[in-house]
Chains A and B, each alone.
Chain A
């Protein structure tokens, strides 16, 4: 954060304080705050958690405990393209396992990891509810369905070629 030389870290910090202000009198504020702060920063590093703990006046241990309990919250940054492979039951019985393996091979990263250039991250996710299209993957907001392993190369290639 903040090493890009611009003022974006200040803007983020300001947004963080606004979020804390908005929720601090709400009963059970921590989870809504974490959701919104993660939208601002993209993830929840310890430095950000410390600020939340101070702002809401709860122990850092409690914040960390909640962040690590829920899969939606991440301690690590995600890639510019977040690849999510649905491993819900409907997708699994239709071969989502092989799709996942193919993507791991194609991206050269394991599940839960981010590529070194920060372009791709790969996660296995729970049912995204497009069971009629099983097996499905999501890359950011785009959904690809009715896949077979040989489709993967072409799909990933499209994103590799994209320039931000």
Chain B
């Protein structure tokens, strides 16, 4: 094997690829060749490092130097300075704008040092398109151990003992799910993987598939052995082309190595895997709907019981886990369930990956032990709120979850404590909002999403969410009236009780949780006809502060509807009857004389 003195790792996840990381990789190859160091330095295309806000990211080992926001033009300098002369390119280091915060190595960066990466253990570390690199990191050791040393029941017992709960949202114990499917009688059973990550703003499953696809393949094969299934399906969003491509490569490699296929490790166990593409329907994240969709039909959920463990895909016993759940499985076998048990809280073991986004400095993926507080995620790892703004709320659980206000920043994050404060773990989207976000508008945003994605099978969801949305539209348009809040609450309660599937039952959550913590914002919209955050246009007026306006006439010239008039060198005024509230005036004013009120 060839030994290299340095390795250049470049992120090729979706986020960094969007900012030209593939071009950066090509540039590295080129300049390394030009400098004749191509037999000393190896360039590796990796999965996501997680610090998407600072992408594209390049890490150079053995030093672990992390360069951020690298542009293709920077590559020449990095190669000539760092790789040839051994001098760090300081201007591209993380935290370079602040001499004290500058980080020489990836391990010094707060964002990474406070995390515990189990599900993401290989993301940003190995080349996801190389099975050898996965194997070098103890890949497929767990599978070998399970197939050659354990009975199916022993394998299930390990998962049960680990306390692993489903990472897709509801948090059902994975071991129990496997046990139910194992107990079901049947010659044909199926193992399914839910990679139809639908929560807008969550992308950890995609990153795992892009960065470490073999971990999911290995885990599904173990699950197949445990429950007695010989075939598996990965149901993945068609919107994730890179993940699909890397999965295809990984499945092909695993087949070639005999790690899936017939008589794996010379045992009697055979297992095959195939990929099915989703087609853009949020409801297909619900387990029965997902299976109906694999069957080639409209992805509508059905009544449970019978549960999929008894009667699932094509009417056969089936288990379905999500990507992140599977990514935890191989390590649980190699390190033992006792080790996994020591991480996390009493009822929520292990770690959780969050996709942190919105009004936060370090947007990206973080993996933290269960029980970490929201404050640590937002401030210590996330770097706080940009532009000196105040934290208002964090939204978890996507369209099924809720908003967590500042007073609960110190709540330890696990399945049960999030449920207690009216939100949920969900798949792991965590969107931070600041004082400029209107909570009624956010509730409306999620309701629009559910109305759009409701499959239409059951009336509470199809009609009920639509009625709720209409009330929210009325309120944000400044036409709210006394009694609207009560109507919303009543509708929410009956939808939660009577909808057919999880999507419908949880659809009112964003409204209920914002009503719980931000009722005053609803009231301000309804009774005072004011949007405190200045978002809802109908209740908003752009005004000119006569003390600040110098009468330069710029806003008046930029206004598309000629609503601003005045005399030069004297304060201008906006004619509210003509104003379309486009905000151009405020953007153009150089004296901050225009404000929303």
- List residues of chain A with CB under 8 Å of any chain B CB: 27-32, 34-35, 62, 65-66, 69-73, 87-90, 92-94, 98, 125-134, 136, 143, 145, 149-150
Q: Which residues of B contact A (CB under 8 A)?
A: 14-15, 18-19, 51-55, 198-203, 206, 238-240, 276-282, 293-299, 314, 355, 357-359, 363-364, 395, 398, 429, 431-433, 437, 442, 445, 455, 583, 587
Shortest CB–CB separation between residue B349 and chain A, in angstroms? 27
Which residues of the partner chain B approach A130 to less than 8 Å between Cβ atoms?
Answer: 14-15, 18, 52
Residues of chain A with a CB closer than 8 A to B276's CB: 28, 31-32
Closest to A62 in B: B297
From the candidates B14, B279, B432, B587, name the one contacting A72 in the complex (CB within 8 A): B279
Closest to B294 in A: A28
- Given the known A-B contacts A73-B279, A88-B201, are A30 and B296 also in contact in the complex, defined by CB atoms under 8 Å? yes
B355 partner, pick from A35, A72, A131, beta carbons under 8 A: A131
Provide the bound-state CA to CA distance between A128 and B237, in Å.
Answer: 11
Interchain CA distance A128-B17 in the complex, whole Å: 12
Given contacts A66-B296, A131-B357, contact A71 B281 (CB under 8 A): yes
Report if A132-B298 is in contact (Cβ < 8 Å); known contacts: A70-B279, A92-B445, A126-B198. no
Which residues of chain A come closer than 8 Å to B238, judged between CB atoms?
Answer: 35, 72
Task: Check if A34 sits within 8 Å of B431, measured CB to CB.
Answer: no
Q: Which residues does chain B contribute within 8 Å of A73, judged by CB atoms?
A: 279
Given contacts A28-B295, A69-B455, A150-B587, contact A93 B359 (CB under 8 A): yes
Set of chain B residues within 8 Å of A128, measured between Cβ atoms: 14, 239
Asked if residues A31 and B279 are in contact (CB atoms below 8 Å), the reply is yes
Q: How far is the CA of A119 from the CA of B282 in the complex (A)?
A: 29
When distances are taken between beta carbons in the complex, the residues of chain A under 8 Å from B431 are: 89-90, 93
A149 / chain B contacts, CB cutoff of 8 Å: 587
Instruction: Decide if B358 touches A93 in the complex (CB within 8 Å).
Output: yes
A145 contacts B359, C-beta separation under 8 Å? no
CA–CA, A133 and B54, complex, Å: 9
Contact in complex: B18, A145 (CB < 8 Å): yes
Known contacts A90-B363, A130-B15, A143-B18; is-contact A27 B281 (Cβ 8 Å): no
B201→A89 contact, CB < 8 A: yes
Contact assessment for A131 and B15 in the assembled complex, using a CB-CB cutoff below 8 Å: yes
Query: Which of B55, B279, B293, B357 has a CB less than 8 Å from the CB of A71?
Result: B279
Q: Which of B293, B358, B364, B583 contacts A89 (CB 8 A)?
A: B358
Task: Known A-B contacts: A27-B314, A32-B277, A133-B55. Give 18 more (CB < 8 A).
Answer: A27-B295, A27-B296, A30-B297, A31-B279, A35-B277, A71-B279, A71-B281, A72-B280, A92-B200, A92-B445, A126-B198, A127-B201, A129-B239, A131-B357, A143-B18, A145-B18, A145-B19, A150-B587
The answer to whether A129 and B206 touch across the interface, beta carbons within 8 angstroms, is: yes
Q: Which of chain B's residues have a CB closer than 8 A to the CB of A28?
A: 276, 294-297
